[in-house]
Amino acid sequence: MRKIVFNGKEFLRKTKRGVQRYAYELIIDIDKYLEGYDAELIVPYINENIPKFKNIKVKAYGGWLPYKGWQYLGYQYYVWKEKALGICLSADIAPLFYSGIVAIHDMRFNREKDEYKTFKEFLINRYKLYTCYLAAKNAEHLITVSEYQKNEIIKYYGIDKEKISVIYSACDHLRYIDLDENKFKIKYKDILNKDFYFFLGGREKNKNIKWVIEVAKRNKNSLFVMAGPSLDAFNLEDKDASIDNIDNLIHVGFITDEEIAFFMKHCKAFIFPSIYEGFGLPPLEALYFGAKVLCSNASCLPEIYKNYVAYFDPYNYDVNLDKLLESKVDDPKSIFDIYSFEIGAKSLYKLIIDHLNNLNEVKDGEI
């Protein structure tokens, strides 16, 4: 039977954002279904961040290659050499030249292809476009994280819809967080003295940090706490936006998962003004910790969050936050029956077996 080879590069990272977390958790959960299969996790080197698997063998290969290019050279060569079914679930979007199952999380670089400001940005954009195009065209099957993104892939690449499967993201991993609230109540006592809105995200244009800044300016009596990368080198698209001289906005920088959980548990509401997402994981994490969520109504977000959150227009800075908080929403507990890595792993397993056996459907009772 054909060998299964997972791209394990994301397992080497100590910290994981949404895309890396997706690959990591799905592979961990699928391990229990692979008894009797020849399955490997290929990495350029082995370190302490790689967990112990029951059925997936971990193998180091190609460590002499440049780390950033490993997935395009070492990983793909190994898959080709072994005549294996390659599985790549992260943003590395291999295979470029050899077929397999690959995840494409969003089409951001296609949407922004004419919005570059410098020659360097132009080169990065075209590189991302080319690698994504090759992966989409050469893969045996594509995975993406929402129906919205499935339609985006079809629109940009003309891929047959039968070649694309949706496997949603999830936040099951949060149950392992051991939160010491007393420690953070002391560290952040000045913040806790006032009700605050919490934002977590990168500074990419699609994250729409400018909305947080502009809404903070218009709501002087409310406190806004932002977490994420430094804004000293603010993204070029929003050069005019600045957090300087905004007394009711605090940027706490990169924080731990434990601190994120703390802020989500204690905030007045979690705000998510993104204008484009593949899935948009932070609101799900906020709901897990019991936060109210005020969410953009753009891209895939209404599909993912249905009536579990209150929505706003991410281009409207004059939003009434108090009125939004009064919006009637569904009990968030039921959303976790929809999104879980356990469900995702079962879907991925069926997809893999389908390709290994060249069948249209997995026989009933295999799981």
Spatial CB neighbours of 273, under 8 Å, sequence gap ≥ 6: 199, 207, 208, 209, 211, 212, 296, 312, 314
Tokens for 145?
């994280």
Spatial CB neighbours of 51, under 8 Å, sequence gap ≥ 6: 11, 28
Contact 166, 128 (CB under 8 A): no
**pLDDT at residue number 232:** 60
Per-residue pLDDT tens for 267-303? Answer: 999 999 999 999 999 999 999 999 999 999 999 999 9
Is the pTM for the entire model greater than 0.85?
Answer: yes
Is the per-residue pLDDT at 248 higher than 90? yes
Q: Mean pLDDT across the stretch 246-261?
A: 92
Task: Residue 319: name the closest of 297, 302, 289 by CA.
Answer: 297
Q: Which of helix, strand or coil describes residue 87?
A: strand
**Cα four-point dihedral sign 292, 294, 299, 302:** positive
Per-residue pLDDT tens for 205-227? Answer: 889 999 999 999 999 999 999 99
**pLDDT at residue number 207:** 92
Per-residue pLDDT tens for 332-363? Answer: 999 999 999 999 999 999 999 998 886 444 44
Per-residue pLDDT tens for 147-159? Answer: 999 999 999 999 9
